[in-house]
Amino acid sequence: MKKRIVIIGMGFGGIHAARTLAGKGHEVVLVDRNNYHLFQPLLYQVATAGLEQESIAHPLRAMARHWQPGTRFELAEATGIDFARREVHTDARTIPYDYLVIGAGSVTNFFGLEGVQRHSFDLKELKDAEVLRNHILTAFERAVHEPDPARRRALMTFVIVGGGPTGVEFAGALIELVHFVLAKDYPELSTRAARVVLVESNDKLLAAMPENLQDYTLKKLRRMSVEVLLNARVVDAAPDRVIFHDGAVIPAHTLFWSAGVKAAPLAAALDVTAKPGGRVPVEPDLTLPGHPEVFVIGDMAYFEQEGLPLPMTAPVATQMGIYAGQAIVAKEAGSPVKPFRFRDKGSMATIGRNSAVARAFGINFRGYAAWLIWLLLHLYYLIGFRNRIVVMLNWVWYYWYHERQVRLITHRTGGHRQFEECK
């Protein structure tokens, strides 16, 4: 009998759940507040003028058309779920379901630091990358006309909080943008005086990586002129400064926050006792306790394996999405469903041109080899043939010419509240 399967959230988990269920004889309804799937791992390259926004996004209706028959997309934001009536409430309409897959993802966790939340940037949405790119480029434009050397220095100081993959990759891309591209665009500025400061509260970067790769990353970033501050915590911020736990202050007009995430607000509407980070505890088959027809996947799901919760990463979400799709097919066929188990295939982070770290197939890679692995895997997982070509051409152009073509300021009125409040 044909069933209606509603999938909330078209991130990595939702996309792979939909792909697994496509063509299996059921009605699959895809629900997302955006009409595109976003390849979040490359958002920082949009923010640092390396890629166009459109090259890391793919229309969801095009995917649904490709997965026909039985798959359709609805542009809506889920606001609540009635488990008794098996209905999803959205800002557009109510959608009934037989099976439900919830993969609404995560939002940035500022840990209650109101000043930081107000005066910092993050990268979760496509628009965030454009806003941050506008701000970075506008900072240099303003620095050109700034007569006060101290304020000029603050305009060219960028503080990045969080020593995970996002922070490391953004720091490396930003320092290269400054030294190899903006140095030529702004000959009247001494861009070597620009500062990129990476702040990590622990005593190491890339905590999930082996120690030798952590050491390599730290040394490489410092050789690139990134200032790395370990065992340091940002506790407050203002439009023109960043404040640390020990009272130290760095004058800066740009604060980028990548120090943590928490489950999307929809998790709070599920009426369950949340785990750390607002995540939803799930059964061994990723279903919501007491609701075997409801699967929770990706960043929202709290699932322990070998005594530790799985991280909120794309590989985890991808495998959960595939599993949820397969589990629904198995249930409809009357077949047993094995418990979910995450298979760690490794992790990686790029540091800069010709330099990355990777742990894959039980082997540690660093330098050029890891950089090639990173490039190839990101191209492979990027959705859309056109997007792969565009991204590859941008990377080749930058590799040979040290030139980033997307140095566009598309919004001139301040760029961000930091500038507005400092007038």
CA-to-CA distance for 169 and 162, rounded, in angstroms?
11
The torsion angles phi and psi of 101, rounded to 5 degrees, stand at -115, 120
Q: Please confirm, yes or no, whether 141 is among the known catalytic residues.
A: no
Give the residue from 57, 76, 85 showing the smallest Cα distance to 9.
76
Rg, Å, the chain Cα set: 22
CA-to-CA distance for 79 and 77, rounded, in angstroms?
6
> Strands, E, within 261-415: which ranges?
261-263, 280-281, 287-288, 291-296, 301-302, 304-305, 308-309, 346-352, 355-360, 363-366
Read off the amino acid at residue 164.
G
**Element holding 140 (H helix, E strand):** helix 126-144
Strands 4-8 and 99-102: parallel
Please identify which residue in the block is written with the tokens 């100081």. Answer: 157
**Any alpha helices (H) in 208-304, and if so which ranges?**
211-223
Who contacts 124 (Cβ-Cβ below 8 Å, separation ≥6)? 40, 43, 106, 107, 108
CA-to-CA distance for 218 and 202, rounded, in angstroms?
13
CB–CB of 149/27 below 8 Å?
Answer: no
Who contacts 5 (Cβ-Cβ below 8 Å, separation ≥6)? 21, 26, 27, 28, 29, 97, 98, 99, 100, 101, 328
CA-to-CA distance for 402 and 11, rounded, in angstroms?
32
CB–CB of 208/347 below 8 Å?
Answer: yes
Helix (H, G, I), strand (E, B) or coil at 415: coil
CB–CB of 249/241 below 8 Å?
Answer: yes
The torsion angles phi and psi of 128, rounded to 5 degrees, stand at -60, -40
CB–CB of 33/57 below 8 Å?
Answer: no
**Helix 368-381 to helix 385-401 angle, to the nearest 10 degrees?**
150
Q: Which two tokens stand for residue 120?
A: 């910092």
User: Which is the catalytic residue, given 74, 130, 169, 200?
Assistant: 169
Read off the amino acid at residue 241.
R
Give the residue numbers marked as catalytic. 169
